[in-house]
Chains A and B, each alone.
Chain A
Amino acid sequence: MKFRNYLETMTGIGIYPLISLLIFFIFFVGCLIYVFKADNNKMEEMKNIPLDE
């Protein structure tokens, strides 16, 4: 009995992981850029939200 990987028959299947990787990568880089550019004072302020009740 020979088993064929049926996903191979899908046209353009290879693009799926590629697209998702790109979406993730761009989002992640954007996130990093924001984090490094973010204002220190604001970060301090947000950090302290749970502490000032």
Chain B
Amino acid sequence: MELEKFSYDNRISRAFAFATIFWAVVGMLVGVIAAFQLAFPALNLDIAETTFGRIRPLHTNAVIFAFVGNGIFTAVYYSFPRVLKTRMYSDKLGWVHFWGWQFIIVLAAVTLLMGFTVSKEYAELEWPLDILITIVWVIFGINMFGTVLIRRERHLYVGVWFFLASWVTVAMLHIVNSLAIPVSFTKSYSAFAGVQDALVQWWYGHNAVAFFLTTPYLGLMYYFVPKAANRPIYSYRLSIVHFWSLIFLYIWAGPHHLLYTALPEWAQSLGTVFSIMLILPSWGGMLNGLFTLRGAWDKVRTEPVLKFFVVALTCYGMATLEGPLLSLKNVSSYSHYTDWIVAHVHVGALGWNGFLTFGMMYWLIPKIYRTELYSKKLASTHFWIGTLGMILYAIPMYWSGFKQSLMWKSFTPEGQLTYTFMDSVQSVIPFYILRAIGGTIYLAGVILMIYNLYKTTKIGSFEAEVEMQAPPLEKTYKAPAKAHWHSWIERRPTQLLVASFIVVAIGGAVEIIPTMLVKSNIPTIASVKPYTPLELQGRDIYIREGCYTCHSQMIRPFRDEVARYGEYSKAGEFVYDRPHQWGSKRTGPDLAREGGKNPNSWHFNHMLDPRSTSPGSIMPAYPWLFENDLNNKTLPDKIRVMQKFGVPYEKDYGKAKAQEDLDKQAQTITDDLKANKINISSKKEIIAVIAYLQRLGKDIKAEK
């Protein structure tokens, strides 16, 4: 058959590779800053834009979607043409995708620091950006899928499946989780409330880990590990089994983030069961990667690329064994809300995503510059620095996690809590310092890599187009008589895409639909009332400042939590919470029953200078809340949107009555402050925040 001539474009893969490295530095630097802020609160600088609550979402978003996101695209734009024997479908779409994604990242960074957030973890961006993401994601999908359709290789290599399945699943997760009604261009309310919102959020949140940080990186692994080792993947059979079971099981695991919360018991159990089952396909992937190096272990000693890959796969194995264990209720009762989880995710992020990306870069850049790596020795140094940084990060975090948990749960023989929350905060600060140093060391390794790769590009010459030839696909392919259904699907990308979508949609549907359908059946606890306008405004400030990054609002039914925080949380309490503020971390104490615990004046002083009321606190100060006037312009719209969701405000409440009520309540609080010798205008934002904090958890208290 006649050979067709075509070429691969290296420019786009190079652009994504450079973007990956650039955002790695930004994301990690922001992480290091956030880490130091936790040890030294003065580093929050008393400026809204530089405060931890806004910095932390920037760190997570930058690392996940900017660093790892561009890493995924690098791998797709490099490996797709090569395993499918064709140029990418469209150069133009590729560049729209590239610049579109970088544009979104910049907008995300700016808006997050400005406080435009929906407070859903790893999906904090407001609705206009969500729409932009969807558009760029679809462009990426068209380009990827188009390439599959014009391929010259009949069979789709396993790496391609991982990327396709990831694409379709992320699209589904992003759209469902982002459903909201806008109030203004920069503010929206979640389509889901309370328990349902929490379930959707963690169905998304967990699968952001699964289908953004894991499955596409497995696709990357399936291409670059064989290439770097120069031998085929250990078992293709294993890759098939592990692909299907992984995508099937992963989608169910979300509820393990909500063990012992007010989420229905059956959903919690489902999350646990599927998480445990996940060990098998995860380890299937790890072993497949590691065994690929069998007979080539001597190369690992000399090749930095392979060193990075081996540690990346080992970290993947450790994190995916730990994950299921953390999903056991008895383990979760200790680990949840503590630094243990932070350690867990960083083994995955620094080890698996980070090291796999570095290995790919050390292999890819010399390759497209037609040269050898500038210095293998420097790359090996990077490897050891990175490993040291990771160890210095993880061990202190595990230690502080255990410590927090044991201190929180400890009782004296007389039945009193042994430690105050502040005792636990104080005892983990040294670990926070160590962790920040570990992160800095890891980042230093990245800088070393940049120097090494820069030098490599200087000694090499860039190969923009790679000339290739291959026979075209026969139009009328006849499968061998004995061919099996799976080989049928391997040749059919559309069906593969549809099948993967069905597989992941089943998990989502079974978990989420029942909680939606019974919306009307939630036993609305009679005493749970909608937020007053002032409380609603205060709540939106609470969201804007990212309070949820350190404070949970979910008391689990444990003796210590009930003794420390009050009556455990019930599902019916959250029906007006759009979005929920259950949180996932207790760097500070739980606030679910904060209302009425402390006087207004205490909150006033605490927000102005946390250390004046709570010596030793690491909370940032919020001086701008005392200067800014509360913006009530959108209040009527907020009330209107809430009414659309069925919140029982009286008819036309937003028009004038809401503002009246707001002013009245603000005056009451201001008067109370005045009685305690604090003079402040009732128009300031802090008054709304106090109103909200004083409301928390009170509805049920009143009933007793």
List chain A positions with a Cβ less than 8 A from chain B: 1, 3-7, 9-10, 13, 16-17, 19-20, 23-24, 27-28, 30-32, 34-39, 42-51, 53
Enumerate chain B residues within 8 angstroms of A13, measured Cβ to Cβ. 266, 514
Over the window 199-243 of chain B, the binary record of Cβ atoms lying under 8 Å from chain A Cβ atoms (1 yes, 0 no) is 000000000000000000000001100110011110011001100
Whether A35 contacts B237 in the complex (CB less than 8 A), given A3-B570, A16-B514, comes out as yes
Enumerate chain B residues within 8 angstroms of A24, measured Cβ to Cβ. 248-249
List chain B positions with a Cβ less than 8 A from chain A: 79, 82-83, 153, 155, 157-159, 222-223, 226-227, 230-233, 236-237, 240-241, 244-245, 248-249, 264-266, 270, 468, 482, 484-487, 490, 503, 506-507, 510, 514-515, 517-518, 521-523, 525, 570-572, 700, 703
Which 4 interchain pairs have the tightest Cβ spacing? A47-B232, A34-B486, A49-B157, A35-B237
Which residue in B227, B230, B244 is a CB contact (below 8 Å) of A31? B244
A2–B144 CA distance with the chains assembled, in angstroms: 53
A47–B231 CA distance with the chains assembled, in angstroms: 9
Closest approach, in angstroms, between the C-beta of B148 and any C-beta of chain A? 13
B525 with A1: CB separation less than 8 A? yes
Which residue in A5, A10, A34, A46 is a CB contact (below 8 Å) of B484? A34
Chain B interface main SS type: helix
B232 with A48: CB separation less than 8 A? yes
B230 with A38: CB separation less than 8 A? no
B514 with A38: CB separation less than 8 A? no
A49–B160 CA distance with the chains assembled, in angstroms: 11
A20 with B518: CB separation less than 8 A? no
B236 with A7: CB separation less than 8 A? no
A8–B667 CA distance with the chains assembled, in angstroms: 45
Whether A20 contacts B507 in the complex (CB less than 8 A), given A9-B518, A34-B486, comes out as yes
A32–B159 CA distance with the chains assembled, in angstroms: 19
A4 with B232: CB separation less than 8 A? no
Question: A6-B518, A28-B241 given. 7 additional CB < 8 A pairs?
Answer: A4-B523, A7-B514, A7-B518, A24-B248, A49-B83, A49-B153, A50-B79
B236 with A47: CB separation less than 8 A? yes
A49 with B155: CB separation less than 8 A? yes
Whether A7 contacts B226 in the complex (CB less than 8 A), given A16-B510, A23-B506, comes out as no
B270 with A17: CB separation less than 8 A? yes
Closest approach, in angstroms, between the C-beta of A1 and any C-beta of chain B? 6
A1–B222 CA distance with the chains assembled, in angstroms: 54
A10 with B518: CB separation less than 8 A? yes
Enumerate chain A residues within 8 angstroms of B266, measured Cβ to Cβ. 7, 13, 17
B264 with A5: CB separation less than 8 A? yes
B157 with A50: CB separation less than 8 A? yes
Which residue in B223, B237, B521 is a CB contact (below 8 Å) of A9? B521
B244 with A28: CB separation less than 8 A? yes
A53–B506 CA distance with the chains assembled, in angstroms: 38
A-B residue pairs in contact (CB < 8 Å), sample of 30: A3-B525, A3-B570, A5-B264, A6-B571, A7-B264, A7-B266, A10-B518, A13-B266, A20-B510, A27-B503, A31-B241, A31-B244, A31-B245, A34-B240, A34-B486, A35-B237, A35-B241, A37-B484, A38-B237, A42-B487, A45-B155, A46-B158, A47-B233, A48-B232, A49-B83, A50-B157, A50-B222, A51-B231, A51-B232, A53-B468
A46–B233 CA distance with the chains assembled, in angstroms: 10
Closest approach, in angstroms, between the C-beta of B679 and any C-beta of chain A? 40
Whether A6 contacts B237 in the complex (CB less than 8 A), given A31-B244, A51-B226, comes out as no
Closest approach, in angstroms, between the C-beta of A47 and any C-beta of chain B? 4
Enumerate chain A residues within 8 angstroms of B482, measured Cβ to Cβ. 39
A47–B236 CA distance with the chains assembled, in angstroms: 6
B232 with A1: CB separation less than 8 A? no
- What residue of chain A has the Cβ atom nearest to residue B222's Cβ? A50
Enumerate chain B residues within 8 angstroms of A30, measured Cβ to Cβ. 485
Enumerate chain B residues within 8 angstroms of A46, measured Cβ to Cβ. 155, 157-158, 236, 490
A19–B511 CA distance with the chains assembled, in angstroms: 12
B518 with A50: CB separation less than 8 A? no
Enumerate chain A residues within 8 angstroms of B486, measured Cβ to Cβ. 31, 34-35, 38
Which residue in A3, A31, A45 is a CB contact (below 8 Å) of B572? A3
B233 with A3: CB separation less than 8 A? no
B230 with A34: CB separation less than 8 A? no
- What residue of chain B has the Cβ atom nearest to residue A24's Cβ? B248
B510 with A17: CB separation less than 8 A? yes
- What residue of chain B has the Cβ atom nearest to residue A34's Cβ? B486
Closest approach, in angstroms, between the C-beta of B415 and any C-beta of chain A? 24
A5 with B265: CB separation less than 8 A? yes
A28 with B264: CB separation less than 8 A? no
Closest approach, in angstroms, between the C-beta of A42 and any C-beta of chain B? 7
A3–B703 CA distance with the chains assembled, in angstroms: 13
B517 with A43: CB separation less than 8 A? no
Among the interface residues B158, B223, B270, B523, which one has the most CB atoms of the partner chain A within 10 A? B523
Closest approach, in angstroms, between the C-beta of B479 and any C-beta of chain A? 11
Whether A1 contacts B703 in the complex (CB less than 8 A), given A7-B264, A10-B517, A50-B226, comes out as yes
A37–B230 CA distance with the chains assembled, in angstroms: 27
